[in-house]
Amino acid sequence: MSRIDSLRQLTESVFVRLFGYAPHAAIQAPGRVNLIGEHTDYNDGFVLPCAIDYQTVVSAAVRQDGIVRVVAVDYDNQQDEFDLAKAIVPHSEYVWANYIRGTVKFLLARGLPLSGMDMVVSGNVPSGAGLSSSASLEVSIGQTFKELNNLDISQLDVALNGQQAENHFVGCSCGIMDQFISAQGRAGQAMLIDCRSLEGRAVRMLDGVDVLIVNSNVRRGLVDSEYNTRRQQCEAAARHFNVKALRDVSLSQFEAGIEGLDPVAVRRARHVITENRRTLEAADALARQDAHRLFTLMAESHVSMRDDFEITVPPIDTLVDLIQDYVGERGGVRMTGGGFGGCIVALIPSALTDEVKQVIEREYPARTGLQPSIYLCHASDGAGRLN
């Protein structure tokens, strides 16, 4: 049985057991991995993620009384209940419930006609790994209300609504990438997203290549404070160049105008400006199935994150190096996500995947004392109803 079929069967059986009747539908929304384009989103730049076949599944049925009941299977079947006719406020105890309450609150704020809902939710997107388990949850809930209420909203609206919930209800600052690709991903394709115009261009993934995600399992301290510092440094650099965002600075403009800019801000800006170029070029490389160029760009991206943006840590660099040393020019690997731990993403020829997994499982613990978590993924469809 596939992972998603297991989730569907689980949520449906819990639904029947706890609510006493069968759900009307099952909805899924995936997590994601960003192939290239790191810390470019809040600089109005470009990212190149794909949705992955790790998902959140919601089994649901419409209610006529305006009450929303939710069961979180992954949190020991904890239950939340709230009334659409009353002000929706944060849950006093359950953090998971706020992603759901926030998503529903902002759908209501759009003036959309919502019915009550019974929902049972479960997911297998690894939590805390930088694979967007939270966006997967927000989008799955938004998609459930869209599908079962026949709402006339676009998939981009579903994504933007989830981002609003995370930013303004949960209280986590995030760009649009995670929700965008969860709502609009396509099987077998990555998507080049312009984080300013919110336009996406699908590009076919490499033939015969697997997406391998490895969680370093580094304990991540200081992530939020370092993220905010990087963001402030980028904003200061944009002000220096008198532009809205670093997306508006070309490499030649950057090189000609760095006098008077703080040396640290110079490095931060150089990463963002060159990363945007790399991301655009990576999408073109994918479009023409130029694996060698894509792998080179991924390597350059990692070096830039390590040396200019300074967001990698020694175990991550060790993980990247041991994979790159083994595959050579046959694959690409880089850190993915906000940094200071988290995951690497590797594009590996399918024939080499098992060997690479064995190398990671043998060498990474020996060199770092840490145990890796390895996820073999495929680019998958965005949110929708399960048949």
Q: Which residues are annotated as a binding site for ATP?
A: 128-134
Question: Taking each helix axis from N to C terminus, what angle separates 353-368 and 314-327, rounded to the nearest 10 degrees?
Answer: 140
Structural domains of the chain in order of their starting residue, each with its CATH number: 3-204+381-385 (3.30.230.10), 209-377 (3.30.70.890)
Q: Which residues are annotated as a binding site?
A: 38-41, 128-134, 166, 227
**178 is known as an active-site residue:** yes
Q: What is the pLDDT of residue 370?
A: 98
Write out pLDDT tens, residues 191-212: 999 999 999 999 999 999 999 9
Mean pLDDT over 284-288 rounds to: 98
Reply yes or no on whether the pLDDT at 174 is more than 90.
no
Mean pLDDT over 94-116 rounds to: 98
Distance CA 164, CA 160 (A): 6
- Say what the alpha-carbon torsion angle 171, 176, 181, 183 is, to the nearest 10 degrees: 70
Write out pLDDT tens, residues 290-303: 999 999 999 999 99
Question: Taking each helix axis from N to C terminus, what angle separates 263-287 and 223-240, rounded to the nearest 10 degrees?
Answer: 90
Count of other CB atoms within 10 angstroms of residue 351: 11
Give the percent of the chain with pLDDT over 70.
99
pLDDT top residue among 225 and 26:
26
Residue 125 pLDDT grade (very low, low, confident, very high; cuts 50, 70, 90):
very high
Distance CA 357, CA 366 (A): 14
Q: Which residues are annotated as a binding site for substrate?
A: 38-41, 227
Q: What is the pLDDT of residue 129?
A: 81
Q: What is the pLDDT of residue 175?
A: 85
Mean pLDDT of all residues belonging to the chain = 97
Question: Which H or E element spans position 383?
Answer: none
Regarding pTM above 0.85, the answer is: yes
Write out pLDDT tens, residues 220-253: 766 777 888 999 999 999 999 999 999 999 999 9
Q: Are 109 and 198 in contact (CB under 8 A)?
A: no
Reply yes or no on whether the pLDDT at 277 is more than 80.
yes
Q: What is the pLDDT of residue 221?
A: 67
Please pick, among 178, 207, 210, 290, the residue that the annotation labels catalytic. Answer: 178
Residue 173 pLDDT grade (very low, low, confident, very high; cuts 50, 70, 90):
confident
Q: What is the pLDDT of residue 165?
A: 97
Nearest to 292 by CA among 187, 203, 209: 209
Reply yes or no on whether the pLDDT at 168 is more than 80.
yes
